[in-house]
Structure 1
Amino acid sequence: MDLFADNQLSIFNATRQNLLPFDGEVFLYPNFYQEDGVYDLFEELKHTILWKQDKMKIYGRSVNFPRLTSWYADNDQSYTYSGVVNIPLPFTPLLLKIKQAAEAQCGKQFNSALLNFYRNGEDSMGWHSDDEKELSGNPVIASASFGATRTFQFKHKEKKNAMISIALSNGSLLIMQGQTQHNWMHRVPKTTKDPGPRINITFRDIKY
């Protein structure tokens, strides 16, 4: 299965536009992965990824993350975020194909991937930046989305009125780079509507 059309890449590269007004670089390719087979990709990811329910501490209480997660990498190094220690699983053939497509677009090699499974509109991701020390410098992060469309929001860390909302649809690829993680936070907010399930894969290069 071809994940994306070769003739689309030159169009995307020629017309890409930075979605952030300042202090960072974010690029969106809404139809990066071809329509044919994209829903099959979602179903395969849903049923073959080893999903887990992580917990976090809030005011001394242990509560479930409002989503399912999984961590894959090409080595056996653990990775800690939000207080959770993740032991990686080896990349599946499908994850490798998706990763290679993202790498071709970014011109960047990735060695790991954090996956999030948003089961319904109640599942979410709070405000945060991907600024862990293992990412170092100005990380390039490629975020692939499959399944239902969800809103993805940015807000500036200092300029509180600077906020941007983006619709991440099935088969889209979002690239965050430059100073983005230093100056902006992002989230996937809850919604009272039930858009259906969504799987997000964020590819990154972890420095151990």
Structure 2
Amino acid sequence: MVKPVTSFAPSPPAAPSTSPVASSSSPTKRTFQSTLFNVKFGAQRNRLPPTKTDSSVAKRTRSQSAAQDDDSIQDEKRPKTEATSVSTAPSAAPKYHHRGPFHQVTRPDFCSTYAITDLPDADIYYKPDFIPRRLAEEWRSQLDRLPEWYRPKLKVYGREITQSREIAAYATAPGLHLKYSGHPVELHAPFPPLLNHIASLLSSPDCLGEEVRFNHCMLNRYDDGSIYIGKHADNIENKVIVTVSLGADRSWIMQRKSPRKKAGAASDTEMVKKRWTLAGGSLLVMQGQTQKFYTHEIPKELKVKTPRISITFRQLVYDD
């Protein structure tokens, strides 16, 4: 069981620099068609997010570097407490870790304790008490203030719509790129301090294991139960998908895919559907062949009036 800290506040941003950032300094781009994205999207909202520019992204990167330098100075002055020792643990998302090697969750006591056993051909684990609800709400409130939130513009059946669900996406290193329903994602690097801290907790010997690392993180914000994510399956290139739920409890549905068959041919595959609640502070792991055989979704629940943020860490395999 991970021993939680009482809080983890991201470092304050440094004063913005006025010097331009040369676009020629970015590494060679790699493109990955992520799955996040064969999904059904919610209705368009009237309020649109402010347009982000390349300069705003560059400003955050410089500010974070300055803030982290300041943190290292302050660490020398502050007493060594239990909270400090956890938050300064070796990072589970080191720079340029996008090439792997990537390992799935194999820790025996975790797998035997938290396995979901009634979904055949799926490799799924659910830990309802990864962190206390109080700490989960603190983390949700801190992540809610990140500056990178936006609503992607997507093309659905030839029409451009603005997605109702806000996202914020991060990579461990610059030069990694995603497409979201055919559109480039605003992908920021490196991980913000709080996400890096959570990734390190996941990759500890007391949780998933030190060999389980991540190179990508996607945040989804659900203001209330009217915001949802439709039935979909992620790409098999996601070797491990780990979701931490913060805030409101929401339903989670997994359903076995209907096999493709020729007309008149009988199917001996049993249709399996399971619905349970992802609690605030819980941890969900999907790996192996799960995406090949199952879809997942978070349905509308209009009775839910409070917000939720999901943190989804991924091992995405990139080809050089």
The aligned amino acid for 1:192 is L
Classify 1:114/1:3 alpha carbon distance in 2 versus 1 (closer, same or farther; 3 Å).
farther
Q: Confirm or deny that 1:147 pairs with 2:257.
A: no
Query: Which residue number in structure 2 is paired with residue 65 of structure 1?
Result: 163
- Which of 207, 219, 222 is the aligned partner of 1:118? 222
Classify 1:54/1:160 alpha carbon distance in 2 versus 1 (closer, same or farther; 3 Å).
farther
Q: Distance in 2 between matches of 1:147 and 1:49?
A: 19
- Which of 114, 117, 121 is the aligned partner of 1:23? 121
Q: Confirm or deny that 1:109 pairs with 2:213.
A: yes
Q: What is the deviation of 1:86?
A: 1.6
Query: Which residue number in structure 2 is paired with residue 165 of structure 1?
Result: 275
Identity %: 32
Q: What is the deviation of 1:78?
A: 0.7
Give TM-score, length-normalised by structure 2: 0.58
Q: Distance in 1 between matches of 2:164 and 2:247?
A: 17
Gap runs ≥5 in structure 1: none
Q: Confirm or deny that 1:43 pairs with 2:141.
A: yes
Query: Which residue number in structure 2 is paired with residue 100 of structure 1?
Result: 200
Q: Structure 1: which 4+ aligned runs deviate by more than 4 Å?
A: 9-14
Gap runs ≥5 in structure 2: 8-85, 87-106, 259-268
Query: Which residue number in structure 2 is paired with residue 85 of structure 1?
Result: 184
Q: Distance in 1 between matches of 2:200 and 2:251?
A: 25
Give TM-score, length-normalised by structure 1: 0.86
Q: What is the deviation of 1:36?
A: 4.3
Query: Which residue number in structure 1 is paired with residue 5 of structure 2?
Result: 2
Q: Distance in 2 between matches of 1:78 and 1:163?
A: 34
Contact 1:114 1:202 in 2 (8 A): yes
Contact 1:3 1:98 in 2 (8 A): no
Q: Distance in 1 between matches of 2:243 and 2:145?
A: 20
Query: Which residue number in structure 1 is paired with residue 151 of structure 2?
Result: 53
Q: What is the deviation of 1:3?
A: 7.2
- 2:145 aligns to what SS in structure 1? helix
Q: Distance in 2 between matches of 1:25 and 1:49?
A: 35
Contact 1:155 1:162 in 2 (8 A): yes
CA RMSD of aligned residues (A): 2.5
Contact 1:42 1:146 in 2 (8 A): yes
Q: What is the deviation of 1:74?
A: 0.8
Query: Which residue number in structure 2 is paired with residue 198 of structure 1?
Result: 308
Higher Cα Rg, which structure = 2
Classify 1:150/1:84 alpha carbon distance in 2 versus 1 (closer, same or farther; 3 Å).
farther
Q: Distance in 1 between matches of 2:287 and 2:272?
A: 18
Contact 1:146 1:171 in 2 (8 A): yes
Contact 1:115 1:201 in 2 (8 A): yes
Query: Which residue number in structure 1 is paired with residue 69 of structure 2?
Result: none
